[in-house]
Amino acid sequence: MKCMCSIIPSNVLKRFARDKKLSASSRRRFAEAAAHETHWRKLRELNAAAFARAQLTLSAGESISAVPAVTVFDCATGTALPGSPVPNPGASSDPTAKRTFVETTAVAKFYKTLFGRNSIDNLGMTLQSSVHYGVKYNNAYWNGSQMVYGDGDSNIFVDFTKARDVIGHELTHGVTQYTAQLAYADEPGGLNESMSDVFGSMFRQWRSNQTVNQADWLIGKEIMGPAALARGYTCLRDMANPAAQHCLAPQPTHYSQYRAGMDPHSSSGIPNLAFCRAAMTIGGKSWIVAGRIWYKALTGFGPSPNLSMAKFAARTRSIARATRKTAVITAINKAWQSVGL
């Protein structure tokens, strides 16, 4: 499984690296963040492969923790992972470390309570995070074995741990890694990113106990810095309106707009909109019906690295039919039809 697994698309980083409205130091930070991806991407692929192999060969008969441990490390603006351990992070005086612990613990509870999943690998895997990574690092990512969070430049982006959907999004890349193993290119790549947006948004809604009508369906709202807000950017992506101008990274809304080789952060807008429309039509809490259908479609069919969007849509339709609820079947079908699938 090849997965970039970061919240900020590389084209956005490169765009700001060329933005003459930013200071030279700010542009340099964005350029460095974009260049750094090639290094941690290689590490992530190795980690993902090693963990998948270990799961197959070394986990038989092991004692599985009922509740996954959650650990936090502090890189102190360095880049050596994991950094120094933060003792008792849930009571840390560092708000970033404390927030990371609290929200990561909540993600584990979200998956356990709603979907019966024991950590991202369903085997009680320790959820490890490193905070204060790099100097004003403008990204957050899953590297195949742990989470890494930058502090942002305080201008375009702020502390990446401030957005619950960012934390949920990145940890869901781990869930995908241990289930469908979607490749990170073409249609499977778009689905990979969409799964993280869907469950990241669902997690944010669950934490606030919001209905689908109360939710704003924005991704990354809380990490937008003052300069981004001043330019009219209120979020990274909008699942209800992927092509909106207030999105820092607007996306296509219909499968007819899909092109082979498209950045997964872009093509994910198509299945994102389908989920949003299905959940909105069904009503209530997104995780109760639509979320369960999406979870089963992601995790219930074994590794599917080359899964197409049409085949994923077919899975959700099949699962919906099994509910024998006409309203649910119709909502799922019409949602996919509305995006051309």
Q: Which residues are catalytic?
A: 170, 265
**C-alpha to C-alpha distance for 192 and 305, rounded to whole angstroms:** 10
**C-alpha to C-alpha distance for 282 and 267, rounded to whole angstroms:** 24
Helices 95-115 and 186-207 pack at an angle, to 10 degrees, of 100
The gap between the terminal CA atoms of the chain, to the nearest Å, is 24
How far, rounded to the nearest angstrom, does the alpha carbon of residue 145 sit from its chain's CA centroid?
A: 15
**DSSP assignment string, 214-258:** T---EESGGGB-HHHHHTT--BSEETTSTT-TTBSS----SGGG-
Cα-based torsion angle of the residue sequence 153, 158, 160, 164 in order, rounded to the nearest 10 degrees:
-170
